[in-house]
Structures are given as structure tokens and as C-alpha cells.
Chains A and B, each alone.
Chain A
């Protein structure tokens, strides 16, 4: 850590924090914005990406085109220490913005996939995405109506998850509960790291 710190000294003598990204994914209405809002220490902010044309944002030709779309992403921040900050990004819901996910998940610590047991299939695309990319994720079942008919094991089976992927039940509106989901994720990432390091 010390070596990292010394490289990251700003010219004004201010220290540059290390930022870690966590993605909050899931279907429409699963509680992504709520979760980002309940754990963030700052008022959740929105950032926009303006997309030009349908061929993707990198196409210079698209800039002359008249069709632009604005994608809004929610994000929040948690300061762990002066040198370490956690950024939470709610992923854009629509499938056609997958390429934004690519950017978001670049170097991300991991992801939380929010599931609603009334519409479980909504989180399949997120799970497929993170499985394919090898991004570690946990599944968090958002129990808004405090009426939870399925346990974690049933959800895990229904989603056909690998045995070690944690499934937790929580209420996205509760900051403590939402933080516990993040703890679950980070611990899972650490376990995976230790296992892949050959123990």
C-alpha cells in the first residue's frame, strides 16, 4: 500500500484516493437506484452519456447524425478511509446499453445483482453478463414488501447459480442491510482471490 500511496501524491500535496467500483445491476424496478441511494454518503448523483447514432459512441461519423440518446447512470460513493473510496454504479437497465456495462465493469471489484422473486427472469441477463466476463457477483433479493416466499437456496436453484455464489435477502431501503450486501460481496471476492492464488 505504501508504494501505491507515494505514487499517488498530487502536485498540490493532496493525496489521490484509490477508487474501487462496485456495480449494482438487475432488472427494471428491482431497486438499483434505491440501493445506491441508501448506502451512498453523498446525495446519489446521476451522470449521463450521450450516445450518437446506433453504431456506438466511438463512431465519429455518428456525431453528424441527428439521433442522440442520453443514458443516465446513478452513482454513489462511500469513503472507507482517506485513501480508499468505493463507487457504486447502478447499471443502465436497457439491453442496448451493454457496451456501457463493459466500461463500468472494467476493473470493477464486483457486482450486486438485485433480484425480485416476482420477476426472477429479469435478472438473468445480468447474471449471464457477469458470468461470461468472470466478474464476481452476489445475488441480493430485494424484499420490499417484507413478504418473502422463497429462501436463498430456492433462489440459487432457480437461477442455476454456481454453488459458491452468495445469495442474500435484504431490504434495499435499509442502509445497514445494503452495506451488509456489499460486505458479503467483498468477502466473496477475497475468498475467490485466495482460492485462485493457490491457497
Chain B
């Protein structure tokens, strides 16, 4: 086997060997070569040491509320998109056929009638709207954030509260 360090454009084989991504046959050939080539042996040993060191750097776990915060952002975007724009965007992405366009007209008419109809339900008094666990979670998150922002004790633990 040609020496990967001496040969042009073959050094990636050494990388692949160290990353265990070479097929069984080529890996066996590489091993046989490394056994007789001091340069390749030194290279792979040094590379594996570096690889092991890189392994020591673990990423921290993902926050448990990551998905919830993303859902909130998506919901907020939806809230900020005017209803007619949301429908239009949805329609514009699809090719229209005559039968579908009639169905769409009927749907938009219904949506328009619903929009202009005066609301009959009375407004909820502040502080008396329905309370659910997700809103409590959000409230406690916000209070925790305010506590961290206001606290002169520089704790680094987000779960301290």
C-alpha cells in the first residue's frame, strides 16, 4: 500500500482510519502499513491522542424548556400574522384548481362574516382568566429570570430557584 503521508491526496485515509470510517478491507491494509511505517505510526498515535482529548469536551444538556420556548415563539409569530395574510400565504404555496378556488371563496366568505360579527361573549375580568399549568410554568420562568437579573449574588445555576 502506498504511504498516505508520502502520496498526494491520500492523507484523508489516515483521518478515516482514525475515525473508524474505513471499510474492513482498507482498514486492514492501513493497519498493515502502519505497522511498518514509522511516520504513519507516529501520525496516527498523535492524532488518536488529540481525538481522545477532544472527546473530553462534552456539550451541556439541552434545557428542558427548549421545546416550550420554541413553541411559544412559533405561536407568537402566528398571532402576529394577520388572518388574511396567513390564509393567503397558505393558498399561494399551493397550485389552485377551479373546484378548489370555489371552496376557498366560500371559506373566505365564512371567515369574513365571522370576523365582522360583533363579539357576544363578555370580556374576562383581569386576573380571572383560566389558569393552566403551562401558564404557571411560563410565569415561574419569568419570575426566576427577574430574580436572577435582580440578584446581586452572581449565581450561575439557572435552577437555583
A and B pair up: no
B binding-site residues for A, Cβ under 8 Å: none
